[in-house]
């Protein structure tokens, strides 16, 4: 299995998808790939605009995408895909449309069969067993919390340590601690500017910031790109 799971699309002051583009290029390979892009997480802009935005950056790395919404049979589009890319946005909307179009099983089957999967933000969330560690507001009934289960742990993208001045509510860490108190899961707090790469049974962190690893009953630990995160592939799935 080949996965590139990215925390966020854009760093402050940079163009869209600029910081991860070279990792995406390396991941997809030198041969040009026309990947199937799933733009369902877009809510306030059109799927066509999303495809255009992604293709603008992919043109710089010798690859391109085609939107799944342009196919009359989305399941057949998945079966024919060279690679699958899932963009960020609202995870609840993304999961709803994946369920509505009966795509959870076909995508999982295709990726388990060896094609490359790239996701950022919501696209990384849905690679996990469940969407329940998303940061997004539940704007729509997702018709079930289960997602692709391509990794057995959960990801919290855009993980942030800060507690803003004047904010008296829970921090991100406290929210995740609530989650693992109820669910016996590992959660990877994936900070902005970082990503996870899975190749077979190898899992590594890419980026110059550590990931924060949460587990029920344990003190969170910080792991860097120098650490081997492959142990996270051998845990019981979060369900």
- Residue 239 resides in a domain: no
Average pLDDT estimate for 2-17: 96
Report pLDDT for 173.
94
Report pLDDT for 127.
98
Strand 211-215 with 221-223, pairing: antiparallel
Segments forming the whole domain that contains residue 87:
2-234
Average pLDDT estimate for 161-179: 84
Element (H, E) at 36: strand 34-38
Average pLDDT estimate for 31-53: 97
Report pLDDT for 165.
74
CATH of the domain at 13: 3.40.50.880
- Residue 226 resides in a domain: yes
Q: pTM value?
A: 0.96
- Residue 49 resides in a domain: yes
- Residue 155 resides in a domain: yes
- Residue 185 resides in a domain: yes
Report pLDDT for 108.
98
- Residue 93 resides in a domain: yes
- Residue 121 resides in a domain: yes
- Comparing 119 with 169, which gets the higher pLDDT? 119
pLDDT at residue 220 is higher than 90: yes
Confidence band, pLDDT 50/70/90 cuts, at residue 170: confident
Tell me the three state secondary structure of residue 189. Answer: strand
Task: Count structural domains, the chain.
Answer: 1
Average pLDDT estimate for 14-41: 96
In terms of DSSP H, where are the helices of the chain?
21-28, 47-58, 74-79, 91-100, 104-112, 122-125, 172-182
Which pLDDT tens digit goes with each residue over 120-133? 999 999 999 999 99
pLDDT at residue 168 is higher than 70: no
Average pLDDT estimate for 64-89: 98
Residues forming the active site? 121, 136, 158
Report pLDDT for 204.
98
Are the C-beta atoms of residues 93 and 141 closer than 8 Å to each other? no
Element (H, E) at 9: none
43 φ/ψ angles, rounded to the nearest 5 degrees: -125, -45
The mean pLDDT of the chain is 95
- Residue 37 resides in a domain: yes
pLDDT at residue 164 is higher than 80: no
Confidence band, pLDDT 50/70/90 cuts, at residue 162: confident
Report pLDDT for 107.
98
pLDDT at residue 227 is higher than 80: yes
Token duo for residue 162: 């800060």
């Amino acid at each position: 299995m080949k996965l590139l799971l990215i925390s966020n699309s854009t760093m402050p002051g940079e163009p869209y998808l600029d910081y991860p583009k070279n990792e995406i290029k390396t991941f997809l390979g030198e041969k040009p790939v026309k990947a199937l892009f799933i733009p369902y997480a877009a809510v306030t802009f059109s799927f066509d605009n999303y495809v255009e935005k992604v293709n603008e950056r992919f043109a710089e790395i010798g690859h391109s995408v085609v939107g799944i919404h342009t196919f009359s049979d989305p399941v057949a589009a998945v079966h024919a895909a060279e690679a699958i890319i899932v963009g960020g946005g609202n995870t609840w909307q993304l999961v709803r449309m994946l369920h509505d179009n009966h795509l959870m099983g076909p995508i999982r089957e295709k990726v388990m069969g060896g094609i490359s999967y790239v996701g950022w933000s919501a696209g990384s969330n849905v690679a996990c067993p469940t969407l329940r560690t998303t940061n997004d507001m539940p704007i729509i009934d997702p018709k079930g919390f289960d997602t692709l289960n391509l990794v057995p742990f959960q990801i919290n993208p855009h993980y942030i340590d800060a507690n803003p001045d004047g904010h008296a509510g829970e921090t991100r860490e406290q929210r995740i601690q609530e989650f693992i108190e109820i669910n016996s899961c590992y959660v990877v707090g994936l900070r902005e500017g970082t990503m996870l790469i899975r190749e077979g049974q190898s899992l590594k962190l890419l980026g110059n910031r550590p990931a924060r690893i949460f587990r029920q009953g344990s003190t969170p630990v910080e792991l860097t790109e120098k650490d081997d995160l492959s142990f996270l592939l051998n845990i019981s799935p979060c369900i």
